[in-house]
Amino acid sequence: MKIQYFAVMIVALSVSATSFAASKAEELFVEGNCNNCHNIDHKTVGPSLIDIAAKYKDNKEAQATLEKKVRTGGSGTWGILTMPGTRQSISDESIKILVSWILEQKAKPKEESKAAQKPDPKAK
């Protein structure tokens, strides 16, 4: 019986930790002013986080590459606009959390259009 409670507690804590990490990353996204130029699911001034994650999906160096880019800024990867570097008051650990969260972003499945859901009156 105690083992079942222990297992449930571990699952609950892991879900809480994942939720905490995501909310911390989202907080850092706003605190670092990333949201001024980036959005999770669509392009604004800069690319969406989903597009960034997709571009670096199979890149084993993605975490380190993006940590450096977030810290120092840069241009040329997504066009001519320059991304400013992050304020020095944002810690390297915070950047690591933020980049991990960015790389986890995925496009949400699109809902079928309403037209596709309507039955074809000619089909029998």
Asked if the structure places residue 122 within a domain, the reply is: no
pLDDT tens digits, 93-102: 999 999 999 9
Write a three-state SS string for 80-111: CCCEECCCCCCCHHHHHHHHHHHHCCCCCCCC
Find out whether 72 and 85 touch, Cβ atoms under 8 Å.
yes
pTM above 0.85, yes or no: no
In a domain, 56, yes or no: yes
CATH value at residue 86:
1.10.760.10
**Number of structural domains in the chain:** 1
Instruction: Tell me, yes or no, whether 9 lies in a domain.
Output: yes
Q: Say how many residues make up the chain.
A: 124
48-79-56 Cα angle (round to 5): 50
28: in domain: yes
Half-sphere exposure of 119 (CA within 13 A, CB side): 4
pLDDT band at 108 (very low <50, low <70, confident <90, very high): confident
For residue 120, being part of any structural domain is answered with no
pLDDT in tens, 50-100: 999 999 999 999 999 999 999 999 898 898 999 999 999 999 999 999 999
Nearest one of 105, 109, 98 to 50, comparing CA atoms: 105
Sign of the dihedral defined by the CA atoms of residues 24, 25, 28, 30, in that order: negative
Note whether residue 65 is domain-resident.
yes
Identify the domain containing residue 80 by its residue range. Answer: 2-106
Does any domain span residue 10? yes
Instruction: Read off the amino acid at residue 81.
Output: L
114 lies in some domain: no
